[in-house]
Every structure is written in C-alpha cells, then in structure tokens.
Amino acid sequence: MERLLNFIYEYRAFFIFLLLELSCAWLVIENNQYQSTKYFNSSNQIAANIIGFSQGVREYFSLRTINEELAAENANLRTQLERKSQLREHLIQNKDTARINQYEYVSAKVVGNSTSLYKNFITIDKGAVDGVVPGMAAISNLGAVGKVKSVSDHYAVLISLLNVDEQTSCVIKKTNQLGSVRWDGVDMRYSTLLFIPRHATPVIGDSVITSGYNAVFPDGILVGIIREVNLKEEAPFWDIRLELSQDFGRLSFVEIIKSRLKSEQDSLKQITIGDPK
C-alpha cells in the first residue's frame, strides 16, 4: 500500500495532467453538438461490437445444450410423424381431406418477450402479410407458448402462458382428466393446473397436454409436467403445481398454428349457443 501511495505521489503531475485532459475532453463533448454526436456514435458502435462478441461467446458455449434440444426435438418429431402418418392413412381411407390438411405452421422469431410481469406478452416478426390473425396458437419445439392477441402487417403480439388472465384447456395425459392451466404470477417456470376434482388421482411426473377443446391449440401439445399435488380437507379440487415444458426465459423461435377448420368450428358454436350477453 505504501509503495502504491509513493508511486502516485511521485507521478502526481502526470495523473493531474491526465485528469485535466479527460475533463477537457468531456467538456468539449458536452458543449459541442458535432463532437458529442461523433463520440456517442463511436461509443455505441464499440458497445454493440462488445455485446455482439459476448453474445457469440455465450451462443458458442451453449451449443451442447442446443444440440441436446435439437436431438430431443428430432426424436419427438419422428414420433409425431409416425402417429400422423397412421392418422393420415385412416383419414385417406375415409376421404376426409379437410382434416388431413387442417393445420399449417408459420415459423417466427421472437423479437420481444416479457417474463417478469403479471401479464406477459411476446412479440414475433410475422404478421398479417404472413397470414397470422388473432386467435391462432403459438408453440415451440418444447410445447405450448400462447396465442396471438393482435397483429400488424409484419409483427404480431402473443398472449404468453405467463399471463394471469390466460387459461388453457388441458388434460392429464395418463388419465385424460380435463382441467385448465393458468399462471399464478409467481415463477416463470411453474404454473397451476385447475379444476381437477378430488376423486381424480393426479400423480407427480404426469404429463399435461392441450385438450383441443377450445379450437386454438390442437390436442396433444405438451404444456408441462406435474411437480406438486396437494388436496386440502373438504376442498373440491386438487392444488396442482405444474413445471412448464417451455422455459420462457430462453424462448427464441415459435411456430404459429393456422387451423383451416377453426372458423367452421367457431361459426357452428355461435349458431348453436348464440352471442354471450
């Protein structure tokens, strides 16, 4: 410490000169528009280069995780392809071409994503010119993400599953017991499964998938895994905590599902039930 103080004292004139030079440079930048503009443009470019480099480093070290996710996705896609192939053969035999081509998928990049609010939204880079309209479902390679809320020509805003106002009709895969998933606003990795009656037998580790009842999500889309189950005395429903299959903090791409039969289903429902008062 003494050596450091002696060093500073010995070169005090140089340090004072350096401090005055920096002060002068700052005053010039602060009081001259041209110099200020050049400085901030240069500093922003340098900052952008540093951020880009650090992002590249992070992406490089996350390649193993990305490869694991891609391998899992490929395995899942092969399973789904086999099931859909069998279903397609069945529908072809029954000449139900509308159901064969019921769904179309639009891939989109996430350009905005909030996770820390009670009502979170996701912005994507596809909009009306790509055929995206409000009410369409959004999924990722890991599971359900949300649904389209509003659309402009080239962008769309999704209601995330991390939204306390959003409920998604789901079933427990093993028992086909119907319920609803709604976020409680606490942890972005967990949600709650509601309306599972006390006579049901939910088990930790059971998968929860979309039911297909609301004409938004197709049936069978993974939503999460049951991690906690509790039943209070005299309570009509179970308290179930669900670990979401999608980590919304790492969401980069989604697929928008366009259902060609949704308008037909909605029209029939409106004709049968009528407009709610």
pLDDT tens for each residue of 115-145: 999 999 999 989 999 999 999 999 988 899 9
- Reduced to 3 states (helix: H, G, I; strand: E, B; else coil), residue 46 is helix
pLDDT recorded at residue 246? 93
Q: Average pLDDT, whole number, for the chain?
A: 82
Rounded (10°) angle between helices 2-10 and 12-31? 70
Least confident of 19-33, 67-81, 228-242: 67-81
Same domain assignment for residues 12 and 39: yes
pLDDT recorded at residue 173? 93
Nearest to 106 by CA among 91, 120, 124: 124
* pLDDT above 50 (res 277): no
Same domain assignment for residues 146 and 255: yes
Do residues 183 and 166 touch, judged by C-beta distance below 8 A?
yes
The domain tally of the chain equals 3
Which tokens hold the place of 252? Answer: 């980069």
Share of the chain above pLDDT 90, in %: 44
Same domain assignment for residues 31 and 98: no
Domain contains 275: no
Domain contains 46: yes
Same domain assignment for residues 144 and 103: yes
* Predicted structure pTM score: 0.66
* pLDDT above 70 (res 227): yes
Full residue range of the structural domain in which residue 42 is found: 2-61
Q: Which CATH number covers residue 214? A: 2.40.10.350
Same domain assignment for residues 174 and 238: yes
Do residues 249 and 115 touch, judged by C-beta distance below 8 A?
yes
What's the rounded Cα separation, in Å, for the pair 221 and 224? 9
* pLDDT above 70 (res 46): yes
Same domain assignment for residues 182 and 207: yes
Find where tokens 């140089």 sit.
14
For the residues 72-80, what does the mean pLDDT come to?
Answer: 60
Q: Which CATH number covers residue 145? A: 2.40.10.340
